[in-house]
Amino acid sequence: MAKTILILPGDGIGPEIVAEARKVLEVVNQRFDLNLTLTEGLVGGAAIDATGVPLPDATLDAARQADAILLGAVGGPKWDQLDTAIRPEKGLLGLRSNLELFANLRPAILYPQLAEASSLKPEIVAGLDILIVRELTGGIYFGKPRGIRTLENGEREGYNTYVYRESEIERIGRVAFEAARKRNGKVCSIDKANVLEVTVLWREVMDRLAKDYPDVQLSHMYVDNAAMQLVRAPKQFDVLVTGNMFGDILSDEAAMLTGSIGMLPSASLDRNNKGMYEPCHGSAPDIAGQGVANPLATILSVAMMLRYSVGAEEAASTIEAAVGKVLDQGLRTRDIASTGATVVSTREMGEAVLAAL
């Protein structure tokens, strides 16, 4: 059956990296007869400039109708002065919450060719393959009340609310346990249960869930320790499951273990595996428009999309193999280049992946 893919390039390096990923998608669409229709829309700062809002109704409607969404990145200094309610990031958060994309999968896999690019010693990261399962539509990102208020003495106070319901914890927990079953059978749940009640509940629910998955080994870790363990001995982890904000932070950290955040794809799924796919990195305004950004995280996001939302496993693994091939050829964008490597542009990297396909 024909499926529709909505492409949202966004801001900063978004349009550059998405252009390369789109070419890859077009080629596999043909090659594997996937029957995908590609459409494009506006989100983030690009949408603010064109329509005044970061998530126009037309985009949200198209996103609701699409079978999957490929997103570049949003945000940039141009829009930083805007009220948080209408900043580019709201476009992304609005898509996540409106589509109930609660399960964010962020695999951190070290391509053996890039062991040198990691800031950690090769023996610490060699063979690294971890999966961060981040809750994406709750927690402190969405909790109410929130805002900045003026106190009686005239001083201003900022406040947010960190909340999780049992049902929200349970559904993300199940995603983690199921994922662990298909991997190495270990889940480490990350919390701050020594201080925060919301994560005391989180821990309780995870323990309860573990009874349904006797074949999976559950452990718990405080987030500060997890941040340390990720750089001390990252290979102790298989699946990490955590809330929205801790997951945001730990996934950036995990990304660097693999050499560059420019290599990390992500999937954000709803309960039916409809998903939005995006690189873990941001819009990188400092290098936007220079043609130096790494398109591989976005290209690998296309692979995840084909696997999870299109059910085209062969097309997905063909893309992943092509990425491996260009790395074997020694091609590197600036972010993953160690001394002496051939540094290529965003476009050249995209073309190389196409050639390898």
Question: How do 275-279 and 68-73 pair as beta strands?
Answer: parallel
Instruction: Give the span between the Cα atoms of 20 and 217, in whole angstroms.
Output: 40
Q: How far is the CB of 267 from ligand IPM (least distance, A)?
A: 12
Q: Which of 11, 67, 248, 278 binds Mg ion (CB under 5 A)?
A: 248
Helix extents (H) in the chain: 14-31, 45-51, 57-65, 88-98, 122-125, 166-181, 197-210, 223-232, 244-257, 296-305, 313-328, 346-356
* Per-residue tokens: 103: 């399960």
Sign of the dihedral through C-alpha 106, 107, 113, 119: positive
Choose between 191 and 248: whose C-beta lies nearer to Mg ion.
Answer: 248
Q: Which of 11, 89, 135, 168 binds ligand IPM (CB under 6 A)?
A: 89
Binders in 273-332 for ligand IPM, by CB under 6 A? 282
Binders in 59-78 for Mg ion, by CB under 5 A? none
Closest CA to 312 of 31, 39, 103: 31
Q: How open is the CA angle 343-348-352, to the nearest 5 degrees?
A: 105
Does residue 274 have an active-site annotation?
A: no
Sign of the dihedral through C-alpha 351, 352, 353, 356: positive
Closest CA to 40 of 31, 30, 50: 50
Q: Note whether 248 binds ligand IPM by CB under 6 A.
A: yes
Q: Note whether 12 binds ligand IPM by CB under 6 A.
A: no
CA distances in angstroms from 171 to 132, 142, 168, 175, 283, listed in the order given: 15, 17, 5, 7, 30
Q: How far is the CB of 247 from Mg ion (least distance, A)?
A: 9
CA distances in angstroms from 295 to 17, 30, 240, listed in the order given: 5, 21, 26
Name the active-site residue from 111, 141, 213, 308: 141
Question: How do 239-242 and 147-150 pair as beta strands?
Answer: unpaired
Does residue 248 have an active-site annotation?
A: yes
Tell me phi and psi for residue 145, to 5 degrees.
-75, 160
Instruction: Give the span between the Cα atoms of 25 and 31, in whole angstroms.
Output: 10
Does residue 224 have an active-site annotation?
A: yes
Stretch 11-30: interaction string toward Mg ion, x if CB under 5 A: --------------------
Tell me phi and psi for residue 288, to 5 degrees.
-65, 140
Does residue 212 have an active-site annotation?
A: no
Q: Note whether 11 binds ligand IPM by CB under 6 A.
A: no
Stretch 140-179: interaction string toward ligand IPM, x if CB under 6 A: ----------------------------------------
Name the active-site residue from 162, 186, 235, 252: 252
Q: How far is the CB of 136 from ligand IPM (least distance, A)?
A: 7
Choose between 16 and 278: whose C-beta lies nearer to ligand IPM.
Answer: 278
Does residue 286 have an active-site annotation?
A: no
Stretch that binds ligand IPM, among 86-94, 195-203, 227-235, 326-334 (CB under 6 A): 86-94
CA distances in angstroms from 104 to 156, 173, 187, 239, 273, listed in the order given: 34, 12, 15, 12, 11
Q: Give 134's Cβ-side CA count (13 Å radius).
A: 27
Choose between 74 and 344: whose C-beta lies nearer to ligand IPM.
Answer: 74
Stretch 179-218: interaction string toward Mg ion, x if CB under 5 A: ----------------------------------------
Q: Which does 54 bind (CB under 5 to 8 A by kind): ligand IPM, Mg ion, none?
A: none
Q: How far is the CB of 252 from Mg ion (least distance, A)?
A: 6
Name the active-site residue from 33, 212, 224, 328: 224
**Which residues of this chain interact with Mg ion, rule CB under 5 A?**
248
Binding site residues, ligand IPM, CB under 6 A: 75, 89, 92-93, 248, 282
Residues designated catalytic: 141, 192, 224, 248, 252
